Amino acid sequence: MNDPQQHTIGGDVDLRPARPRGLPFLKPLYGLPPYQYTNDTTLIVVYETDRAALLEVLPRELEPLPGNVVAMCFFHCPDVTGIGPHDFTMPCLPVRYGEEIGQFVPYLYTSTDASLACYREMQGWPAVMGETGIVADGGRVRARLTRRGRELVRAEAEIGGEKITELEFLPIMLYKEIPSLDGTTRDTACLLRSTSLFTNLDFHAGTGSVSFPEAGDDPIARLVPRKITTALYGTLDDLYPETIRILERYA
């Protein structure tokens, strides 16, 4: 049998570079990290939900923090290196892993094929297709997530008060999995922790609401608000990932 490392007859593409090539070969769908996000517009509505709803979407390794908090985040990203402009919505759930505190993202809805592939393949975000819209009129902000013609999530906020230039963002904890082709094993499976470098924050706080008008059986609708805590609206820059670390590997 020929040694594949010695095989030189055939196409021009060398599959043995020191770094990943990306796919498709001649024009990869997305570039390699890190990714610089510039001038993101963001609406975040923070609320309390039922603990049972959180447990349904969390791995056993992660424990919800007291308060059963959800931060529903809507992003419009006009300038992202390696990925391109896109928008997305995600719920962030504050959790504990041993002695570490972070936030777990059970669903992410993004608007382009490049961001979908990059988030899933490269980073392990649980991404599916969806479109996010954010509209601001004075101090009133509206955001909505649609998928396949249905409005899954709607948020409204009344924003005012002093400018906020510093916020504490917990590290992100993600489960990254790539199954084997025969479906019997996993080529890659790990729980990881990543951080972002946020700069140029320009936010204001207020009150808000979150609803799920046409979610049907979409799992994001399990995270129904019981009590709204706050709403934040503004812009920021984000270098991601600033750091990344494997917490657990799975066979």
- The per-residue pLDDT for range 63-120, each reduced to its tens digit, is 999 999 999 999 999 999 999 999 999 999 999 999 999 999 999 999 999 999 999 9
Summarize the confidence of residues 8-36 as an average pLDDT.
Answer: 87
Give the angle subtended at the CA of 104 by the CAs of 172 and 186, to the nearest 5°. Answer: 95
Query: What's the pLDDT at 2?
Result: 53
pLDDT at 14 over 90: no
pLDDT confidence of 21, banded at 50, 70, 90? confident
Burial (CB count <10 Å: 0-12, 13-18, 19+), residue 151: middle
| Residue 98: alpha-carbon gap to chain centroid | 22
The whole-angstrom separation of Cα 106 and Cα 126 is 6
Mean pLDDT of 55-70: 96
Determine if the pTM surpasses 0.85.
yes
User: By percentage, how much of the chain surpasses pLDDT 70?
Assistant: 97
3-state secondary structure of 220: helix
Q: Both tokens of residue 108?
A: 């992410």
What's the pLDDT tens digit per position in 166-192? 999 999 999 999 999 999 999 999 999
Please report the pLDDT score of residue 196 as a whole number. 97
**124-160 confidence digits (pLDDT tens):** 999 999 999 999 998 999 999 999 999 999 999 999 9
Looking at domain 30-164+201-235, which of 3.40.50.1110, 3.10.110.10, 3.40.109.10, 2.40.400.10 is its CATH number?
2.40.400.10
Is the pLDDT reported for residue 1 higher than 70? no
For residue 16, the model assigns a pLDDT of: 81
Confidence of residue 10 (pLDDT cuts 50, 70, 90): confident
Q: Where are the domains of the chain?
A: 30-164+201-235
Tally of CA atoms within 13 A in the half-sphere of 66 that contains its CB = 0
What is the structure's pLDDT at 179? 93
d(C-alpha 80, C-alpha 115), whole Å: 10
pLDDT of residue 63: 97
Q: Across the chain, where does the E strand assignment appear?
A: 35-48, 63-64, 69-77, 79-80, 86-97, 100-104, 108-110, 127-129, 131-137, 140-147, 150-164, 172-179, 186-211, 227-249
Say if residue 6's pLDDT is above 70: no
